[in-house]
């Protein structure tokens, strides 16, 4: 196993950080690595906003549901899908406001995917430099407020945040689903789906119990049922996306 694979498989989410700052040199390397990620047709439909201001980080921590590690991390990156830049580039040649560009589900997906690929490259680069990260989907609890804090224009929307800094903890590696549950040869097959889930439940039950000193009796499928049986998540997102200028046809 080479060093790159070892690093990838050793990933842990970090929620406690030392006060050491992320240096400009480190950030430059991280961003250059993000930009090296695959991108559809070289469109690069993303932007990232770095937040170091304590007051702004505190507001992000609050809107994300009280996640104090956002406030405590020396750098908080907000990864945004960005079709504003693409539309501006088109207008340089077409000379009008081509709103068809942002009324297309494919373009919306393209921007979200580009953003995610770039962010994951950044995460891997950061960990190679001895830094730790944790993704923050909680900013979508109130995307309108997040957009206001960052002064995002229309056709730009926050996808997720990322805390970044020197780790001040060594959490265990969370076990993943067995490969048999996620990899299919030639065609999708679910013959072993239930057995794979039950096997993983046993693995995660032991993991949760050991992490909580034996006081937590739960497992993966139970956690998923609890999370998703409540109904649709973040139903306000549709209205927010429309408010940012998107009108899907």
Is the separation of the CB atoms in 44 and 116 below 8 Å?
no
Of all residues in the chain, the percent with pLDDT exceeding 90 is 73
Q: How far apart are alpha carbons 6 and 8 in whole angstroms?
A: 6
Query: Where would I find the beta strands (DSSP E) of 33-124?
Result: 46-51, 75-82
- What pLDDT, on a 0 to 100 scale, did the predictor assign at position 196? 93
Q: Cβ of 78: how many Cβ atoms within 10 Å?
A: 22
- Residue 23 three-state SS: coil
Residue 192 has pLDDT above 90, yes or no: no
Q: How far apart are alpha carbons 112 and 40 in whole angstroms?
A: 11
Please give the residue that has the higher pLDDT: either 84 or 99: 84
pTM of the model: 0.92
10-24, 36-50, 221-235, range with the lowest pLDDT: 221-235
**Which helix H or strand E contains 161, and what residues bound it?**
strand 156-165
Domain with CATH 3.40.109.10 in the chain: 3-172+233-243
Provide mean pLDDT across the span 160-183.
94
- What pLDDT, on a 0 to 100 scale, did the predictor assign at position 210? 82
Please give the residue that has the higher pLDDT: either 183 or 231: 183
Q: What is the DSSP letter of 141?
A: G
Residue 96 has pLDDT above 70, yes or no: no
- What pLDDT, on a 0 to 100 scale, did the predictor assign at position 36? 98
What's the chain's length in residues? 249
Of 172, 225, 183, 176, residue with least CA distance to 203: 176
Of 127, 141, 108, residue with least CA distance to 22: 127
- What pLDDT, on a 0 to 100 scale, did the predictor assign at position 94? 73
Q: How far apart are alpha carbons 60 and 57 in whole angstroms?
A: 5
Going by pLDDT thresholds of 50, 70 and 90, the confidence category of residue 93 is confident
Output Rg (C-alpha) for the chain, integer angstroms. 20
23-32, 74-83, 91-100, 169-178, range with the lowest pLDDT: 91-100
Q: Which fold has domain 3-172+233-243?
A: NADH Oxidase (3.40.109)
Provide mean pLDDT across the span 2-24.
96
Rounded to the nearest angstrom, the gap between the alpha carbon of residue 151 and the centroid of all alpha carbons in its chain is: 20
Residue 99 has pLDDT above 70, yes or no: no
* Mean pLDDT for the chain overall: 92
Give the pLDDT confidence of 37-90 residue by residue, as tens digits.
999 999 999 999 999 999 999 999 999 999 999 999 999 999 999 999 998 888
Q: How far apart are alpha carbons 146 and 212 in whole angstroms?
A: 33
- For the beta sheet containing 132-136, the strands, ordered from the edge strand earlier in sequence to the opposite edge, are 46-51, 75-82, 156-165, 132-136
- Residue 230 three-state SS: coil
Residue 128 has pLDDT above 80, yes or no: yes
């Amino acid at each position: 196993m080479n060093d790159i694979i070892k690093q990838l498989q050793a990933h842990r989410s970090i929620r406690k950080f030392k006060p050491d700052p992320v240096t400009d040199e480190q950030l430059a390397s991280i961003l250059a690595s993000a930009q090296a990620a695959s991108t559809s047709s070289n469109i690069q439909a993303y932007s990232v906003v770095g937040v170091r201001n304590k007051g702004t980080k505190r507001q992000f921590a609050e809107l994300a549901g009280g996640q104090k590690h956002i406030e405590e991390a020396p750098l908080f990156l907000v990864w945004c899908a960005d079709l504003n830049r693409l539309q501006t580039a088109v207008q340089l040649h077409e000379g009008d406001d081509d709103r068809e560009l942002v009324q297309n589900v494919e373009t919306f997906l393209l921007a979200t995917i580009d953003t995610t690929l770039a962010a994951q490259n950044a995460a891997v680069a950061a960990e190679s430099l001895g830094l730790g990260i944790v993704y923050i989907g909680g900013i979508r609890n109130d995307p309108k407020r997040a957009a206001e804090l960052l002064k995002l224009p229309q056709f730009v929307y926050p996808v997720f945040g990322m805390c970044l800094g020197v780790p001040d903890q060594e959490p265990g590696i969370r076990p993943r689903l067995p490969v048999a549950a996620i990899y299919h040869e030639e065609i999708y097959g679910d013959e072993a789906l239930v057995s794979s889930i039950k096997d993983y439940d046993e693995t995660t039950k032991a993991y949760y119990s050991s992490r909580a000193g034996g006081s937590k009796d739960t497992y993966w499928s139970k956690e998923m049922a609890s999370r998703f049986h409540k109904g649709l998540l973040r139903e306000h997102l549709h209205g927010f996306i429309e408010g940012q200028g998107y009108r899907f046809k």
